[in-house]
Amino acid sequence: MSRPVYILVALLLCAFALDAAERRSPSVHVVKRGDTLSEIAARYRVSQKQIKRWNKLRSSRIYAGQKLKVGSPARSSDWYRVRRGDTLSKIARQFSIPVYKLKAINRLDGDVIHVGQKLRLKSAAPARSVSADDHDEEPREYTVRRGDTLSKIALRFDVGLGFLRQLNKLKSDLIRPGQKLRLRASRLEEAVHVVKEGETLTEIARRYRVSVSQLQSLNALVGDRILIGQKLRLKDAASTVHIVERGDALWEIARAYGVSVYRLKILNGLRSNRIYPGQEIKLYPDGKLEPSTASAGPRLATYVVQRGDYLGQIARLHQMSVAEITRINKLKKNAVIHPGDRLKVRPMRWVELSEINWDDLQIHRADMPKIALGNGPYYFSRPRKTRQPNKKSYEGHPSSPRQTYRQAARLWREFERKVGNMGRLSSRLEGWHIVLDPGHGGLDPGALVSARDGNGNKLYVVEDEYVFDIALRVYVLTRLHGAQVTMTLLSPNHLIRQSEPPTQTFVHEKNEVYNSAAYNQTNKLSAWPRGSNLSTRVRIARQAFAKAPKGRRIFLSFHADVEPKAPEAPLVLYYKNSKSGRVDRVSRQFARSLLPALGAGARFRGQNLGVLRNNPADVKVLIEIRNMAYRDHVWALRFEDLRHRDAEKVVRGLLDHAARATLRAGY
């Protein structure tokens, strides 16, 4: 065959192939941030030229949210060969596979890949816009593959080696292909149960496979009477072991027992700081006391009984059973305690406020009269009621947003001066700019939930009042670590408040204002914070970040919603557009990085949230610090000590984030 004939045949074949490709019914791809035309073409096994022709594009420029006609998804190969410039996350995004699944399929222990390496894509989903939430769910079970070891599986799924053995009742590290391993404990294996409406002691005992007498003994119950919201211990722990509850963080446990995080990780086969509900954390080698502590016994703290305390509440605060606290203190059954009594307790440092004299932040000025109350202090004025009486009650807002702002600003300036005079805890947040946004406020109370105290009496908790208190504590701590911090809301009559006793709940006052003189100059009713003007919070953030260095701007919004479908633990939300599927990936990674500091059971997910949309911060998240759909969370919000614990968790997460950023920058 002559050369011209070869050329003619080749041209005809090319034309046929192009015509066949053009005749295919094209799929639609929604462009995500970070996509390039070349990546999309490779993913769908078509040329860039074809995509341009189908979509009448004059250049290779594309934008997030744009809908592109593309060919049918590539299905001809289960493999991908790594190219120069590829990363594991880039490949995972290209083929819509979660990174952890890509690692599992290829038995990778880390993120390192090499040019020319072949990666299996057998479990790849058809090319489509995959919800970011698909990637947020962590697997609860794994089937062992050939070549797996228990330590590799522990590393891959961020689970402690000791916890893997505990969950799967393994006497050794020997595993076999095809064996199914559990990666998380079930609710039935956790250490506590919070009583729900309609439950009986017999039903609870049957569910957790313990006897009624065991429950009665562990919780010092007389008879079968239990209360809605009561927290029941399900098992006792040796003094050398800490059973992880929801919200416990490894750094907290280490601080409580006077050991290092590194020590606990070595003892428990942990490769990271993540721990999980139901996990048993050894505090000493082989569950025994170290020689240096054997004579003194396990580390204990002293708790001084306050007015209104009862034994169950004290045990609950220190994550002990009533049986344990009774045994340690050699108390008789049904013993009566009195204010001033000193009890030995587990040394849970989160019920001891930070080593700061918080009384130094109280204001003592004749022109700012202080009003001392159990749920105060207040300044200038106080709510008419001493506690929230019901779900509908509220104290009406003042008549003038402008005047209210001026008073709030005066109070805030004095508070800022007090914080500035306290010195420093560290300089670890030096150069960082943080905007703190207490959720709701003004005309919007957020969630308003009923609960019961230890005597079964009804009480009510107002979301915006409590998250404002938590945000103020985060403000103080971040300032003391060197950050520049801005609040989006201010109160005209209170700052950090106490809860003495916790039954004296905060009252819903509709008097918070936006922290902006210009915004409040209108003096209109519409100036009060409410659900329909969330963009004002973003504008305040934009102004606060105007001169802040890029890469060091953080926005945190605090909430404690009522969401029965959300987890019974802190939930961190990052921005995800519900229509285009576009995800703020940097904030998503930040949200994930906060989980170890927030504690066991903490979760994250994407959501279309107005306060995060168009927000100028480098990383921005909304933290549901508590979920008041769960009685235990309503109970916890009422205690100043536990609100402070919540604040310290957030600050610990920020400190960890800053440390990682410093390492990446090579400082």
- 256 Cβ contact partners less than 8 Å away, ≥ 6 residues apart: 346, 347, 348, 349, 350
Q: Are 44 and 69 in contact (CB under 8 A)?
A: no
pLDDT at 217: 84
Q: What is the mean pLDDT of residues 29-43?
A: 76
> Is the pLDDT assigned to residue 581 strictly greater than 80?
yes
pLDDT at 310: 80
Return the half-sphere exposure (C-beta side, CA atoms, 13 A cut-off) of residue 206.
5
What is the location of CATH 3.40.630.40 in the chain?
Answer: 359-665
- 387 Cβ contact partners less than 8 Å away, ≥ 6 residues apart: 375, 459, 460, 503, 504, 505, 507
% of the chain surpassing 90 pLDDT: 41
If pLDDT is split at 50, 70 and 90, which confidence band does 307 have? confident
* Fold of domain 141-184: Membrane-bound Lytic Murein Transglycosylase D; Chain A (3.10.350)
- 323 Cβ contact partners less than 8 Å away, ≥ 6 residues apart: 217, 218, 219, 220, 233, 236
Taking the C-alpha atoms of residue 622 and residue 606, their distance in angstroms, rounded to an integer, is 10
One DSSP character per residue, 489-501 reads EE-SSBSS---SS
Strongest mean pLDDT among 39-43, 183-187, 537-541: 537-541
Q: What is the mean pLDDT of the chain?
A: 84
If pLDDT is split at 50, 70 and 90, which confidence band does 348 have? low
If pLDDT is split at 50, 70 and 90, which confidence band does 109 have? low
If pLDDT is split at 50, 70 and 90, which confidence band does 499 have? confident
120 closest CA partner among 136, 98, 104: 104
Strongest mean pLDDT among 60-69, 177-186, 507-516: 507-516
Give the pLDDT confidence of 240-252 residue by residue, as tens digits: 888 898 889 999 9
Give the pLDDT confidence of 377-390 residue by residue, as tens digits: 999 999 999 999 99
The superfamily CATH assigns to domain 24-76 is LysM domain (3.10.350.10)
Q: Are 583 and 32 in contact (CB under 8 A)?
A: yes
Question: 């204990």: which residue's tokens?
Answer: 300
Question: Which is it for strands 553-559 and 433-438: parallel, antiparallel or unpaired?
Answer: parallel
Q: How many CB atoms lie within 10 A of CB 667?
A: 6
Give the pLDDT confidence of 259-298 residue by residue, as tens digits: 889 999 998 888 889 999 989 999 888 645 444 433 344 5
If pLDDT is split at 50, 70 and 90, which confidence band does 107 have? low
Q: What does each C-alpha distance from 59 to 39, 419, 648 come to in angstroms?
A: 15, 55, 50
Give the pLDDT confidence of 548-558 residue by residue, as tens digits: 999 999 999 99
Give the ranges where 329-434 is alpha helix by DSSP (H): 401-420
149: left (phi over 0), alpha (psi -120 to 50) or beta: beta
Q: What is the mean pLDDT of residues 231-239?
A: 82
**Top-confidence residue, 354 or 579:** 579
Please name every residue paired with 606 in a beta bridge, in sequence order, or none if there are none: 574
Q: Which of 189-193, 342-346, 466-470 shows the lowest mean pLDDT across its residues?
A: 189-193
pLDDT at 131: 37
Architecture per CATH, 359-665: 3-Layer(aba) Sandwich (3.40)
If pLDDT is split at 50, 70 and 90, which confidence band does 413 have? very high
587 is written with which tokens?
A: 């904030």
If pLDDT is split at 50, 70 and 90, which confidence band does 126 have? very low
Q: Are 634 and 506 in contact (CB under 8 A)?
A: no
Coil, strand or helix at 571:
strand
What is the location of CATH 3.10.350.10 in the chain?
Answer: 24-76, 141-184
If pLDDT is split at 50, 70 and 90, which confidence band does 34 have? low
If pLDDT is split at 50, 70 and 90, which confidence band does 5 have? very low
If pLDDT is split at 50, 70 and 90, which confidence band does 489 have? very high
> Strands, DSSP E only, in 483-591?
484-487, 489-490, 513-514, 553-559, 571-575
Give the pLDDT confidence of 157-168 residue by residue, as tens digits: 888 888 899 889
Q: Are 628 and 559 in contact (CB under 8 A)?
A: no
- 514 Cβ contact partners less than 8 Å away, ≥ 6 residues apart: 405, 442, 488, 489, 490, 520, 527, 529, 536, 537, 540
Q: Which of 412-416, 498-502, 542-546, 617-621 shows the lowest mean pLDDT across its residues?
A: 498-502
Taking the C-alpha atoms of residue 349 and residue 356, their distance in angstroms, rounded to an integer, is 14
> Is the pLDDT assigned to residue 193 strictly greater than 60?
yes
pLDDT at 41: 76
pLDDT at 518: 93
Q: What is the mean pLDDT of residues 174-188?
A: 89
Strongest mean pLDDT among 102-106, 156-160, 535-539: 535-539
pLDDT at 15: 41
- 361 Cβ contact partners less than 8 Å away, ≥ 6 residues apart: 415, 418, 419, 422, 476, 495, 496
> Is the pLDDT assigned to residue 16 strictly greater than 60?
no
pTM across the whole model: 0.74
Provide the b/e sequence for 504-534 (b: ≥16 CB within 10 Å). bbbbbbbbbbbbbeebbeeeeeebbbbeebb
pLDDT at 122: 61
